Structure 1
Amino acid sequence: MVAALKAVSRSLRHYKPRTSAFPESQQWLYVARRGLILDQAPSHSVSLHRLSDSDSGIVEVTLERPEVRNAIGKDMLRGLQNTFEAISKDSSANVLMIRSKVPKVFCAGADLKERKMMSSSEVRDFVNTLRATFSFLEVLCIPTIAVIEGAALGGGLEMALSCDLRICGEEAVMGLPETGLAIIPGAGGTQRLPRIVGKALAKELIFTGRKIGGREAMSIGLVNYCVPAGEAHLKALEIARNINEKGPIAVRMAKKAIDEGLEVHKTSALALEEECYEQTLNTNDRLEALAAFAEKRKPRYTGD
C-alpha cells in the first residue's frame, strides 16, 4: 500500500494537464490546415442562432443546403469553421446543438459533384481541413449535441461522431459508405466510431458500408436516444436545457476530465480529475449552490 501511494504521488508531481487536445508538435499543422479554407466570407449553408430568455446559453448551428441534401462543400466547410470558431470565443455559450433545416436529412456527406472537379492535392487539402474542423468541434469546452433526423452519411456521420451526444429520430439512417467509393472515412470516422461502438462492429460497418437505422444505432450505443421521427430536436432541447441549468464551469471541467482522462493512464487520469475538481472549488457558482440548497431554492449560476 505504501509503495502504491508513493507511485501515485510521483505521478501527481509529474502530471501536466494538457491545455489543448492537439500536441504542441501538431498545433501548427492544425492551424495550417484550417487556414486552407477558412476566411470570413459569410456562408450560405450554415447559420448560428443563440437562444434567448430562459434558454440563454444554448446555441444552435443549423445546416441548410437543400439542393444537395446538406452535402459538405467548400461553402459549408467554411461556415462550420467560422461558426465553431465563434462559439469557442463565446463565454456565454453553455451547450451547442447541431441540426438540419432540410427535411429527412442531417447531412449526406461530401459534395461529390464538387469533389469530382478537384485535383488529388485539392481533395487531400479539403479532407485534411474537414478532419481538423471536426477535431476542433470535438474539443470545444462545452457539451455538443447532434440532432439527427434522416440521413447522416459519410462526413455527416463523422460530424455527429465528433459531438458529445447524439439524438436521432427512428427513421434516421446512418453509415460510412466510403469504401464503396474506393476510399476510407477521412474525417475521423475510422477513429471515433470504434471508440464509441467497439472495434469489431466499427470494422463491419466501415468494411461493408452498411447503413443502419435509428433503433439499431440506439442498440449499439451509437446514439444516446432514438425517439419518434420528427421529435429529435425536442429531445435534444430537453437535454440541452437540463445541462444549461447546471454549473457551467463544472460541466466544462467534467467534459475535460472525461475526454482527456480516457487518453492517458488511469493514474494520470485521476490526477487530471483532481486538477479539474480544483477548478470548481473557488467559484461563486459553488457558493451559490450551497446557498440555494440551504434556502431550498433553485440555484442561479453565472459561470463565475
Structure 2
Amino acid sequence: MKNGIIVSFNSGFVTVVDESDGKEILCSLRGRFKITGTKPLVGDRVEYIVEGDRGRVESILPRHNVLERPKVSNVDQAVAVFSISTPMVPLSIVDRTVANISKTLAEILIVLNKIDITDRSKVEEFKKIYEVYKVFLVSAHLGTGIEDLRKNLEKKISVFAGPSGVGKSSIINSLLSANLKTGNISKTNFGKHTTTAVSLLKIEGGGFVLDTPGFTTVEFDDLKPEEVQKLFPEIFNASHKCLFDDCVHDLEPGCHVKEMVENGTIPKSRYENYLSILREVREKEGKFEKKR
C-alpha cells in the first residue's frame, strides 16, 4: 500500500502523485466508492496499490478541510496576491479579500507583485501595514522574490487568490515544475497540461498550487458582529485588553484597540476597513431581524 495525493481527474480515473517519490500514476477507483456515495476530491490524501503501469485507490484518508469553490480538500494556506501600481488595488479591497479568506483558512501569505514598477516608499508602507502577515515582495517579471515565496510553499497545498490583473498566473507559472511550464496559463485550467478545470500543479521543490475563484466574491453574510474582529489578527489580539469582554471596538469606552489605532500601533486603514465590514454585517443582521 502506498500513499499519494489526488491532483486531477480524467475520464473516471484520477492522477495521483506519490508522497514518497513524487511520481505520477493514473489510478482507478474501487467500486465501493460509488456504492457508498464517496466522492474523491482533488487534494485528497489516499492509499493506493500499483497494478502494472496503473494504480487503484483503496481508501481516502480523513480530510482536514474542504473548499467549496472549487471543490478541493486539505488546503494548507492561501496566497493572496495584490498590486498597488498597475492595477492599483485599493487597501479596502486588500482587507476585504484577506478577511474573506480568513473565514476559511487561518494561514495566509500576502504577495505584493510588480514591485519593479512600484514606488519603493509605497512598497515599504504596504509591507508595514500588513506586517501581521507574512508579506512577500515580488516581481514575477524579473523573478524577484520568487525563490523566497517558493520556500514557503514547499510540502503544502496552497491556493492563490486576488483580483484580476495582479499577476497570479505569472507568479504560478514561474513556480511550476519544469515539465509543467506552459507559458500559456489560462484562467480556467492553467493551460494544455491539465485535463480538468480543478488540478493541483506541482511546483519546483515540492508542494502544490491552485488558482481559485472561490474568494473573489466577498461576502460576510454568515458573520455576527462580534466575529468580524477575528478576521483582523492585530485587532483581535489587542481586544483582550479592552475594558469590556464584548467590545467590538466601535463606540465602546475603554477600548484598547482604539488606543492602539491612535498611537499608530494598528494601521488606521486596517481599523477603518474593519469598521466598514462591521457596519455591513450589522446592517445585514438588522434586516434579517426585521424579516423575522
Q: TM-score, normalised by structure 2?
A: 0.26
The structure that is strand-richer by fraction is 2
Asked which structure has the greater CA Rg, the reply is 2
